[in-house]
A and B are shown apart, each in its own frame.
Chain A
Amino acid sequence: MQATTQNNVNITNSTLQFRQDFAIIANWVKFGSKVLDLGCGDGALLQFLRTGMEVKGYGVEKNDANWLACMKNGSNVIQMDLEEGLSGFENQSFDTVILSQTLQAMHHTEEIVLEMLRVGREVIVTFPNFGYWRNRVQILTGNMPVSKALPYQWYDTPNVHLCTINDFDQFCKNHKISILERKVLTEGAEVSVMPNLLGNLAMYRLKSH
């Protein structure tokens, strides 16, 4: 992995290449706003938003190595377990709360989405669309899907709550969550026709009803 240095901050090239969702998230976040990134990993998104959008950002990360990488990147990072909720954060205290490609690995899926809507005026959730046709083909041929977006074997995957775009739409409807915007990507390109079949990555901008 090659690393580039900008303002004493390391961002790996591979991170930027594969996280095509960053640009869309940056479009959904207001300039100079206050952002909470849940499961922030090494802080690459926060770094991207801080330099590009001048956001005041905080990350939440449970894993020690990720936490340390995030702190080295110059991000504020709070170590806590998302499964326990967001009790350290006040109601509506952030402009945007982001959960990027982590929803599917959460045990308390419903709770975390509701907690995000409590803490954030807007919420961004992204996840790999299990309804993507390549996943369907692998299931039809008799195997659990393994791909770049779902790079795990059935026995070692952290993903416990995979869903399709249709499922998540229904989830929002049931919980009276307003979908302000939805974008679906495949290999970085936007998909507008039959997104639940042709889309690999689902991105939602949400708000409480």
Chain B
Amino acid sequence: MQDNHSIGIVAAQKAHFNAPLTLKSGAVLPQFELVYETYGTLNAEKSNAVLICHALSGNHHVAGKYTETDKNAGWWDNLIGPNKPLDTNKFFVIGLNNLGGCHGSTGPASLNPATNQPWGSQFPVLTVEDWVNSQAMLMDYLGIQQLAAVVGGSLGGMQALQWTLAYKDRVRHALVIASAPNLTAQNMAFNEVARQAIITDPEFHGGDYYAHGVVPRRGLRIARMLGHITYLSDDAMGEKFGRKLRTGEIKYSFDVEFEMESYLRYQGDKFAGEFDANTYLRMTRALDYYDPALPFGGDLSAAFKQVSAEFLVLSFTSDWRFSPARSREIVKALLDNERTVSYAEVTAAHGHDAFLMPDQHYHDILRAYLSNIEV
């Protein structure tokens, strides 16, 4: 069936940066590439650009399809397109693959120009700040001085926050969805288990598995299975799988017996076949490290004093990995500074995954907020 609101066929582009980028860790990337996609048309005033920041496993393919027969559209296709909540008739939308990614931007699997071998373990650890700096360089490259909005969910929401802190004159609106001002110990603990699954896989080879012609599939698979448990709520898992057995009877084995196991194994296998373990390690570390209040003694309100963007902050009632309470911390810091902010707690059963779902009220909120933005 033809989707009249689809952006249609899209193609990725690549931007090359020859200037060295000094990272927060002190490491320097001598040069790098960012792969990105754009949807809609940049207006003459260049005032209608919206940047989409991706989360842990996302990439630049946010909307549309690569071919007519492409089975899957971009990861946020339900949001972006002509007459969709993020309307490409009005906005020029940019999606990119973050630095360190594994979908075309320079990352651990790319060749290190100094050795002509894959970076592997030598690829630096990245931070949200580094990503936003490289995103600003991409905006320079595209000739965009100021973004109408930055939109991100989860780890993407942290990047949207960081834009308003690091480039306050370059962003007018931030849409921070299912995110947090930093991770709690429990949240970081999930990341640590995921990393340990990867690092202790015998085929990890200290991160230099490319040279051995193997990938730490088992570790990556377990990391992803764990992630999926935390992205869903107990209720959503109960409703989706309950205690359903695949064959209807207990077999007294350790094979896939429950539907839930089948789902987790499928998701784990799929992910392990297409994602790079070194990228996964770095994405989770970026999550762990982000803490804009740290230089202000933990005082988020003090950190937000300099912010001038307008905010929409959204959370989902059943999201326990990035709970509404964490979003309310962001809202409080903005209120303390008398910033322009609206906050909604969307009733949703899907847990953290809800931010990717086409829930009617959720999309109504985004549509209303985005249509109020002047370009």
Contacts and interface: CB of A to CB of B under 8 A. Distances in A.
Interface of A: 8, 34, 56, 58, 64, 67-68, 71-72, 74-80, 88-90, 93
Given A34-B338, A76-B341, A80-B345, A68 B361 contact: yes
B343 A64 contact: no
Contacts of B361: 64, 68
A88 B347 contact: no
Contacts of A74: 372
Given A71-B369, A77-B343, 13 more contacts: A34-B338, A68-B364, A71-B344, A71-B365, A71-B372, A76-B340, A76-B342, A78-B331, A78-B335, A80-B328, A89-B332, A90-B335, A90-B336
Contacts of A67: 344
Contacts of A76: 340-342
A105 to B, nearest CB: 20
10 contacts: A8-B372, A64-B347, A68-B364, A71-B344, A74-B372, A77-B343, A77-B344, A79-B343, A79-B345, A89-B332
B368 interface: yes
A71 B331 CA distance: 15
Contacts of A88: 328, 331-332, 335
A71 B335 contact: no
Contacts of B335: 58, 78, 88-90, 93
B343 A72 contact: no
A148 to B, nearest CB: 30
Contacts, number: 49
Interface in B26-65: none
Interface string B331-375: 110011010111111010000000000000100110011001000
Interface string B312-341: 000000000000000010011001101011
Nearest to A56: B338
A26 to B, nearest CB: 21
A90 B361 CA distance: 30
Query: Range of interface residues on chain B?
Result: 10 to 19
A72 B312 CA distance: 13
A178 to B, nearest CB: 26
A105 B250 CA distance: 53
B336 A78 contact: no
A79 to B, nearest CB: 5
A78 B343 CA distance: 5
Contacts of B365: 68, 71
A79 B344 contact: yes
B368 A68 contact: yes
Nearest to A60: B343
A67 B341 CA distance: 13
A44 B150 CA distance: 29
Contacts of B331: 78, 88
Nearest to B315: A79
B222 to A, nearest CB: 37
A77 B365 CA distance: 12
A75 to B, nearest CB: 8
B337 to A, nearest CB: 11
Contacts of A64: 344, 347, 361
A75 B344 CA distance: 13
Interface string B55-91: 0000000000000000000000000000000000000
A37 B365 CA distance: 20
B345 A77 contact: no
Nearest to A78: B343
B182 to A, nearest CB: 18
B368 A71 contact: yes
Interface string B289-329: 00000000000000000000000000000000000000010
Contacts of B368: 68, 71-72
Contacts of A68: 361, 364-365, 368
A75 B332 CA distance: 17
A67 B361 CA distance: 11
B347 A72 contact: no
List 7 tightest A-B contacts by C-beta distance, closest first: A79-B344, A78-B343, A88-B332, A72-B368, A79-B345, A77-B342, A76-B342
Contacts of A34: 338
A77 B314 CA distance: 12
B336 A93 contact: yes
B176 to A, nearest CB: 14
Nearest to A77: B342
The CB with the most chain A CB atoms within 10 A, among B328, B343, B369, B372, is that of B343
A56 B343 CA distance: 16
Nearest to A79: B344
